[in-house]
Structure 1
């Protein structure tokens, strides 16, 4: 079997609520979901979800190759871009193709990817995550009540703009989750909104009021001494890594004991997650995938020995996308469909008459000029912001 071509699509996810973080939010809750379809001469098509802006540049590394050689082809894609580097959209495109390759490999074996990767259990423990910074108090409680009804005992909130608001919201969600446990696991994600000295002071203020399992991205993703300083001062673990691309970016952080929970983004692909998980395992650290549509990394999470918990951001699926899994019992129950269990309805996607808005100037993918530089809480529609 040989790889013969690819197609790229873009569909939409309707979150049903505003979604975002300390950097901004999408008010209408409609965002784009890129899709890659990898074609073979054997009639099978692999599905990958994630950015495909560099598909034309990356695909020559795959054309004519046997898709079963997944890890070798991953390295071939990296080698194909070594002069210009593999960060950002390039790494995302490699990840989307890699996801499609693993989907093909499991389909060729006639089994779900979690079995191909050697997992024994189809259940993947999860925590609830609402990208919820723009929700008011009632909306927040209603949102996490729905998660509690699905058996979840942990939740991650977006924050970092106002410590008093963060504590109040964490407390409210803890009360909701106590329907399932006397000690809910609470995480706070500030999405790199703090400077190192801010992070130490503001996190101490939060931890005086509530126990956190981890603080996520308290400072810039590459800041080894900053993350280490937070880790030394905090009772909570420091979690980060979703925006790091390649093992070379993780090594200095792990060598300095600057992270206690190692994360990877769902859009960076299966092979990247597996390699990061192995690196983390070598440091006796847990790994936790950051959520993405259809939870493709859940298959790989089920197969690694140091998986802690997977972020689950929603129960809806994008337009034209179906997935063989169930969100229940506080996690993801993977199905038996071959591959990732993801099916794409191209006709439904073709009928869409609008685009999504992750890259909107007010959205969470655009870093505000004042991030890390605020002295007082900033007034705004999603609350206020503490600085130092």
Structure 2
């Protein structure tokens, strides 16, 4: 039996060319944490995540890694339970669960490599092209709605959905949505990401009423995900389809969004929820209820899970520098297809992530 020998961590911060306004948050840089897991036979697995300025690498080092070391390299599910139970006294949700998720993904990478198959084959999800969401634009007051619409339209062909963020100016949104509804390809759905920007359903409904008649595939993250009843009210009174779930670490919150909020699609952050191991269970649970699941970022991982995949424009873009350090991964051609390479099928640029040990 091969076992996990060690877990190394690294963090990198990459500036954005201009600040992004996401709901109530202003983002000026993207900080990423990464892990590199080693099995005693030399197999190496990797994973990365947006740290959101939290000390993710330190949490892995201090609270999680020791519970993975010595575990069976072919059994990440059992190792996930070891990591959760070993750190349960300080948190089964929140940052600790994110840290567990980061390690869990790297361990699944090792398990699939040792089986000499892509992760999607080990998971049994197939390699059919996945529905795709392209994060296409972040409107801002210094850019006219026509300019933002043109940015979206230039990228839209072939994608299942394109997504823009909400700007808290109803007149601006009304004009922008009218342009996109009139000019987007008929096969491409439009998503507006609110980024938890409204405090309650009253505020959401009052603003949506000023948007005219938006034709949306769904309205994303209008409220904090714990407000499932508020989400249900927005759906009911606005008539818009709604999707929520980004950054959620507690499976009970995601299940309440389906059972109480009645969301049309469930958003799933594979790192935040604790990795591939719990994500598989939640995806199966949602499938039994006929609710599609859409992955939140990390396309290199979510492409293997058989769910919708979200990505930013590949290459250099002003919103997400991850493509500059991810080597390999799925193909991005409108719909997204997982790689045939063994394991997760991607590596991290060693010039960006400098792990603690050789």
Do they superpose with TM above 0.5?
yes
Q: Which one has more relative contact order, counting CA pairs under 8 Å at least 6 apart?
A: 1
Q: What stretches of structure 1 of length at least 5 have no aligned partner?
A: 352-388
- 1:323 aligned residue (302, 310, 328): 328
- 1:298 aligned residue (296, 299, 303): 303
- 1:125 — aligned with what? 131
Equivalent positions of 1:123-272 (< 5 A) are 123-130=129-136, 132-134=138-140, 136-137=143-144, 140-149=148-157, 151-175=158-182, 177-178=184-185, 182=186, 184-194=188-198, 195-206=200-211, 208-268=212-272, 269-272=275-278
Distance 1:176 1:42, change over 3 A: farther
Structure 1 position 41, deviation (Å): 0.5
Distance 1:314 1:39, change over 3 A: same
Normalization by structure 2: what TM-score? 0.85
Normalization by structure 1: what TM-score? 0.79
Q: Which moved more, 1:97-106 or 1:224-233?
A: 224-233
- Answer whether contact 2:119 2:344 (CA < 8 A) is retained: yes
- Answer whether contact 1:53 1:93 (CA < 8 A) is retained: no
SS at 1:222 equivalent: coil
- 2:52 — aligned with what? none
Residues 326-382 of structure 1, C-alpha deviations (whole Å, 9 max, x = no match) = 211x2222221111111123245449xxxxxxxxxxxxxxxxxxxxxxxxxxxxxxx
Q: 2:101 matched to 1:108?
A: no
Q: 2:338 matched to 1:334?
A: yes
> How many residues were matched structurally?
336
SS at 1:227 equivalent: helix
**In the aligned structure 1, how far is the partner of 2:65 from the partner of 2:243?**
33
Equivalent positions of 1:56-71 (< 5 A) are 56=61, 57-71=63-77
- 1:313 — aligned with what? 312
**In the aligned structure 1, how far is the partner of 2:181 from the partner of 2:277?**
35
Q: CA RMSD in A?
A: 2.5
Equivalent positions of 1:15-30 (< 5 A) are 18-27=19-28, 30=29
Q: 2:15 matched to 1:11?
A: no
- Answer whether contact 2:303 2:337 (CA < 8 A) is retained: no
Structure 1 position 201, deviation (Å): 2.6
SS at 2:286 equivalent: helix
- 2:318 — aligned with what? none
Structure 1 position 65, deviation (Å): 0.5
- Answer whether contact 1:74 1:271 (CA < 8 A) is retained: yes
**In the aligned structure 2, how far is the partner of 1:53 from the partner of 1:236?**
41
- 1:43 — aligned with what? 42
- Answer whether contact 1:160 1:193 (CA < 8 A) is retained: no
Distance 1:215 1:227, change over 3 A: same
Q: Which moved more, 1:250-259 or 1:270-279?
A: 250-259
Structure 1 position 129, deviation (Å): 0.9
Distance 1:245 1:24, change over 3 A: closer
**In the aligned structure 1, how far is the partner of 2:14 from the partner of 2:292?**
30
**In the aligned structure 2, how far is the partner of 1:284 from the partner of 1:228?**
17
Residues 15-62 of structure 1, C-alpha deviations (whole Å, 9 max, x = no match) = 6665442223335xx422211001111101111112434112111211
Which segments of structure 1 move beyond 4 Å, counting only runs of 4 or more? 12-18
Structure 1 position 154, deviation (Å): 2.0
**In the aligned structure 2, how far is the partner of 1:96 from the partner of 1:140?**
34
**In the aligned structure 2, how far is the partner of 1:10 from the partner of 1:319?**
15
Distance 1:143 1:32, change over 3 A: farther
SS at 2:127 equivalent: coil
- 2:93 — aligned with what? 87
Structure 1 position 11, deviation (Å): 3.2
- Answer whether contact 1:240 1:261 (CA < 8 A) is retained: yes
- Answer whether contact 1:53 1:90 (CA < 8 A) is retained: no
Distance 1:332 1:13, change over 3 A: farther
**In the aligned structure 2, how far is the partner of 1:267 from the partner of 1:112?**
19
SS at 2:126 equivalent: coil
SS at 2:209 equivalent: helix
